[in-house]
């Protein structure tokens, strides 16, 4: 997915048509502009493999707004870590913004809050 001047939605839920933004098991990522993506829904064990395969194309610094991510668990954390690592390997970077409190807490418990959300958390 290129972030250049496009509006797109990636769904990792079942392929049975449009999914509600907060439906359990559905995850969406939409391009807001060249440097910003909006994530919504849940990254779960059921859809983590599909979601991981849909790495945002980060050819430079890209902000990912996580404010609409729900039901965060260790699968969510794993996908975000892998996305960041793959983006770096491709010469880009992802910066996660507006993470829900539960995701911040999980990252802090795992000693990954500085890695995912920067020193200020």
pLDDT at site 25: 53
Q: How many residues does the chain have?
A: 121
Kindly give the pairing relationship between strand 36-41 and strand 9-11: unpaired
- Which residues face 69 on adjacent strands? 41
Which domain, by its residues, includes 86? 9-117
CB 86 within 8 A of CB 64: no
Q: Quick check: is 49 in a domain?
A: yes
Kindly give the pairing relationship between strand 61-69 and strand 93-97: parallel
Q: Quick check: is 1 in a domain?
A: no
5-14, 71-80, 94-103, 107-116: the lowest-pLDDT one:
5-14
Q: Is 85 a residue whose pLDDT tops 70?
A: yes
Give the gyration radius of the chain's Cα atoms: 13
pTM: 0.75
pLDDT at site 118: 83
For the stretch 5-59, pLDDT in tens is 323 333 333 333 333 344 455 899 888 887 899 999 999 999 999 998 887 776 7
Q: Quick check: is 2 in a domain?
A: no
């Amino acid at each position: 997915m290129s972030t250049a001047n496009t509006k797109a939605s990636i769904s990792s839920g079942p392929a049975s048509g449009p999914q509600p933004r907060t439906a359990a098991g559905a995850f969406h990522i939409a391009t807001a502009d060249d440097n910003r993506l909006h994530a919504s829904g849940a990254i779960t064990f059921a859809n983590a493999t599909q979601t991981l395969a849909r790495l945002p194309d980060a050819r430079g610094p890209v902000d990912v707004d996580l404010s609409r991510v729900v039901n965060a668990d260790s699968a969510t954390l794993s996908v975000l870590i892998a996305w960041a690592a793959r983006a770096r390997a491709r010469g880009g970077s992802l910066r996660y913004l507006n993470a829900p409190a539960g995701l911040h807490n999980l990252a802090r418990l795992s000693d990954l809050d500085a890695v995912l959300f920067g020193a200020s958390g």
